[in-house]
Amino acid sequence: MKYKKTGMLIDSGHSRRQFLKLAGYGTLGLISGGLWPKLDGFAAEQTPDTEFVPDLDIFLSARPDEVSVLPGDPTRVWRYHATVHKGSRARIVEMSRSYLGPVIKVHRGEKIRIRFKNTVPEESIVHWHGLHVPAIMDGHPRDVVPQGQSHLYEFEVKNRAGTYWYHPHPHGRTGPQVYDGLAGLFLVSDQEEQYIGLPDGEYDVPLVIQDRTFDSGNQLVYMSGHRMARMAGFLGSTIMINGLPDFTLPVSTGAYRLRLLNGSNSRIYKLAWEDGRPLTILATDGGLLERPVFRRYAFLSPGERLEIWADFSDHPVGYETSLLSLPFDAGGMGGGMMMGGMMGQNQYPTNGAIFSVFKMKVTQTVKTNYRLPEMLSDIESARPEDAVNYFRPRQFHLTMQHMQWTINGRTFQMEEVADDEIVQLGSTEIWEFDNSGGGMMNMMNIPHPIHLHGKQFRVLERSGVAHEGYVDEGWKDTVLLMPGERIKILVDFDDYPGMFLYHCHNLEHEDMGMMRNYYVKG
Ligand code: C2O
Ligand code: CU
Ligand code: CU
């Protein structure tokens, strides 16, 4: 509790009403303050805002389910399930045979209503990772609902076209709930994207990368509660693509847009093609880059997305190649020694081991007309000189204290915001994250993927250890810091006041409190 002194407690009821008014949610304000999310069911008493006319209105539930993932017994999972109440049914695309939730497809500018019902036997709440939505629509852990109860989301899609996703965010339980299957993609399209004519339909392929460990009865095994294991994070023994093991994507002799999401709890992938061609990268977290960039390899840490262009038009039927994860040094605790010992039975024991993530196999000849565009999108150049703290960026040190990962020595407290976590609505700031362990490289330095809620940001600078596998171009919401690295990002807190999270997206780190609130003061 030593931070309570400098910390500022924010009354949730009061501040929510404030958010609602400021965010222009008019009549909703009257029934806010934590009252309406606690109501049961989707009945009329839940009172969706009558002034809010959704283009898409869906029911989304989290429920216990069973899927046949492996030969033999089905696997018990938790799974999102959705139905369309208003709007086109095509907006909800099931992932077949998967524990993953459906892909939700929206267009920029649309108004979305999502009536979430929690039917898993513990508290949960849905967060829209990467979406720019008002604080009360963001799925903060303070908004959790118990089993049987609901939460109403209403927001306008303001994001650029891109690959976003949704997952639970109850404090201390995000890791196990995502692990049990609760996650899904949220794809945004817009006019700019449609204009350039990227591969679509069956040539636009989402690939969610995760790792899971199964017991001999085909049931999921999460990590032991052992502190040391949680310090590193959970690593599963089987790589899953869209919820399936041993994944091979059959392709034709054409060009593909592959949308990769790292939905793993803590595993980092260093992606590269087995056949040695470079990765052609189209997009990152916040949508298309200005132009395609080429990398020999690219890191993809938990929470991050990369869209890549894969063209098989020069390859014969029967051609096969893998997307690999190459070896890398993940630092002291993430490295081999400890996890190898802890989880000795694992097929892919460590962060940084080499393995095939999935295969692509050419199975038919089809002529397509997709060509890699030279230009993808208009992206204004970042203007660090606009930052109010240009000469003194806000500092965030990622350190371990008393066997606990912290940000500036602090851990998550539900309603707490420290003085140095308050920003002014309408301002642009530079935030600097430091994973150098105070300058000393030591055994304890491990990678941390840092994620901000509320806003996409720009990466201005990365210093420390030089890796070439970062795609820091474009808009980001999650950024990997390897041991020894520091990065500066530029964030513009333009239009939504209120309390948002920032945290490490290693879900075991997040659950143990490597997460904090920041407060945008209106
Ligand atoms: Cu992907 Cu706070 O989350
Ligand atoms: Cu998020
Ligand atoms: Cu971390």
Residues 305 and 403 grouped into a single domain: no
pLDDT tens-place string over residues 280-289: 999 999 999 9
pLDDT of res. 41: 42
Residues 442 and 340 grouped into a single domain: no
Closest ligand 1 atom number to CA of residue 129: 1
Which whole number is the average pLDDT over 63-76? 97
Residue 444 lies in a domain: yes
Closest ligand 1 atom number to CA of residue 169: 2
Residue 514 has pLDDT above 70, yes or no: yes
Closest ligand 1 atom number to CA of residue 478: 1
Which among 181, 161, 202, 267 is positioned nearest to 508, based on CA atoms?
267
pLDDT of res. 290: 98
pLDDT tens-place string over residues 394-403: 999 999 988 8
Residues 222 and 122 grouped into a single domain: no
Ligand closest to CA 286: 2
Ligand closest to CA 454: 2
Ligand closest to CA 405: 3
Residues 172 and 52 grouped into a single domain: yes
CA 129 – ligand 2 centroid, Å = 4
Is the sign of the CA dihedral 362, 367, 370, 371 positive or negative?
positive
CB 317 within 8 A of CB 364: yes
CA 395 – ligand 3 centroid, Å = 16
Residue 11 lies in a domain: no
Residues 232 and 345 grouped into a single domain: yes
Residue 146 lies in a domain: yes
Tokens of 174: 């995000």
Ligand closest to CA 516: 1
CA 130 – ligand 2 centroid, Å = 5
Per mean pLDDT, which range of 286-300, 340-354, 443-457 is the poorest? 340-354
Tokens of 116: 């979430």
Residues 409 and 356 grouped into a single domain: no
The residue out of 317, 333, 364 marking a domain boundary is 364
**What is the rounded CA–CA span in Å between residue 65 and residue 187?**
24
CA 446 – ligand 1 centroid, Å = 19
Query: Beta partners for 375?
Result: none
Give residue 40's Cα distance to chain centre.
Answer: 29
**What is the rounded CA–CA span in Å between residue 209 and residue 211?**
7
The model's confidence at residue 348, banded by pLDDT at 50, 70 and 90, is low
pLDDT of res. 465: 79
Residue 27 has pLDDT above 90, yes or no: no
Query: Beta partners for 504?
Result: 450
Residue 1 lies in a domain: no
CA 35 – ligand 3 centroid, Å = 34
**What is the rounded CA–CA span in Å between residue 49 and residue 408?**
40
Closest ligand 1 atom number to CA of residue 453: 2
Residues 216 and 309 grouped into a single domain: yes
CA 343 – ligand 3 centroid, Å = 19
Q: How many CB atoms lie within 10 A of CB 315?
A: 16
**What is the rounded CA–CA span in Å between residue 259 and residue 188?**
12
State which residues form the domain around 65.
17-191
Closest ligand 1 atom number to CA of residue 501: 2
The residue out of 330, 364, 398 marking a domain boundary is 364
Residue 260 lies in a domain: yes
Ligand closest to CA 455: 2
**What is the rounded CA–CA span in Å between residue 384 and residue 393?**
10
Rounded mean pLDDT of the chain? Answer: 88
- Nearest residue (by CA) to ligand 1, atom 1, is 129
Give the chain's domain count. 3
Closest ligand 1 atom number to CA of residue 515: 2
CA 451 – ligand 1 centroid, Å = 7
CB 348 within 8 A of CB 211: yes
Residues 186 and 211 grouped into a single domain: no
**What is the rounded CA–CA span in Å between residue 506 and residue 112?**
29
Residue 138 lies in a domain: yes
pLDDT tens-place string over residues 134-180: 999 999 999 999 999 999 999 999 999 999 999 999 999 999 999 99
Q: Which amino acid is at 241?
A: I
Closest ligand 1 atom number to CA of residue 167: 1
Q: How many CB atoms lie within 10 A of CB 356?
A: 15
CA 215 – ligand 1 centroid, Å = 28
Cα distance between the two ends of the chain: 27
Residues 215 and 337 grouped into a single domain: yes
pLDDT tens-place string over residues 420-452: 999 999 999 999 999 998 655 566 789 999 999
- Going edge to edge, which strands form the sheet with 428-434? 405-407, 394-400, 428-434, 486-492, 458-463
pLDDT of res. 225: 66
pLDDT of res. 332: 62
Is the sign of the CA dihedral 440, 441, 443, 445 positive or negative?
positive
For residues 133, 136, 138, 139, the Cα torsion angle rounded to the nearest 10 degrees is -170
Element (H, E) at 521: strand 515-521
Is the sign of the CA dihedral 360, 370, 243, 241 positive or negative?
positive
Q: Is 37 helix (H, G, I), strand (E, B) or coil?
A: helix
Q: Name all residues whose Cβ lies below 6 A of ligand 1.
A: 127, 129, 167, 169, 303, 451, 453, 501, 503, 505
Residues 205 and 179 grouped into a single domain: no
pLDDT tens-place string over residues 217-268: 999 999 876 777 788 899 999 999 999 999 999 999 999 999 999 999 999 9
Residue 308 lies in a domain: yes
CA 74 – ligand 1 centroid, Å = 29
pLDDT tens-place string over residues 91-114: 999 998 999 999 999 999 999 999
Residue 38 has pLDDT above 80, yes or no: no
Residue 452 lies in a domain: yes
Residues 273 and 155 grouped into a single domain: no
Q: DSSP string covering 196-207, please?
A: HT---GGGEEEE
Residues 48 and 124 grouped into a single domain: yes
**What is the rounded CA–CA span in Å between residue 149 and residue 362?**
47
pLDDT tens-place string over residues 355-403: 999 999 999 999 888 999 999 999 999 999 999 999 999 999 999 988 8
Residue 32 has pLDDT above 60, yes or no: no
pLDDT of res. 367: 87
Neighbours of ion ligand 2 (CB under 5 A): 129, 453
The model's confidence at residue 351, banded by pLDDT at 50, 70 and 90, is confident
pLDDT tens-place string over residues 316-333: 999 999 999 999 888 765
pLDDT of res. 342: 40
DSSP assignment, residue 380? P
Q: How many CB atoms lie within 10 A of CB 207?
A: 18
Model confidence, pTM: 0.90
CA 87 – ligand 2 centroid, Å = 26
Query: Beta partners for 116?
Result: 60, 151
- Nearest residue (by CA) to ligand 1, atom 3, is 129
Query: CATH number of the domain that 509 lies in?
Result: 2.60.40.420
Residue 488 has pLDDT above 80, yes or no: yes
Ligand closest to CA 131: 2
Which has the higher per-residue pLDDT, 58 or 9?
58
pLDDT of res. 167: 98
CA 140 – ligand 1 centroid, Å = 9
The residue out of 191, 224, 251 marking a domain boundary is 191
CA 505 – ligand 1 centroid, Å = 6
**What is the rounded CA–CA span in Å between residue 224 and residue 235?**
12
Ligand closest to CA 444: 3
pLDDT of res. 336: 41
DSSP assignment, residue 243? T
CA 518 – ligand 3 centroid, Å = 18
